[in-house]
Amino acid sequence: MWQWRQSQSNEWQNYSDIETAIIEDVYNRHGNCVELEDNVVVDLKQGLQMNNANKKKNEKAVEIRRLSTDCDDAETFRNR
């Protein structure tokens, strides 16, 4: 399961099932980036999500994480 949050004070939000499948596929193939709908780019190497349409507005990047599905307590870990 993949999640994102705006800042450390915000709660983690789940990506949709389709977005999670796309991100997980790229992650499993050791890819670095994946582009989702609405100009959203997920940088797996940096652990960030950015909106390409808002680059000029200097919008803060969104943190992402992958929950380990093989742990009972869903322990999180940073990407590669």
The pLDDT tens digits for 24-68 are 999 999 999 999 999 999 999 999 999 887 765 556 789 999 987
Domain ranges, ordered by start, for the chain: 2-77
SS3 assignment, position 62:
strand
Q: Does this model's pTM top 0.85?
A: no
User: In this structure, which amino acid lies at residue 59?
Assistant: E
Distance CA 27, CA 22 (A): 9
Q: Given phi > 0 = left and psi -120 to 50 = alpha, else beta, which region is 40?
A: beta
Give the pLDDT score at 69.
65
Give the pLDDT score at 75.
42
Query: What are the CA-CA distances from residue 72 to residues 3, 20, 47, 67, 68 (Å)?
Result: 17, 20, 23, 11, 9
Give the pLDDT score at 79.
42
- Phi and psi, residue 10, nearest 5°: -95, 155
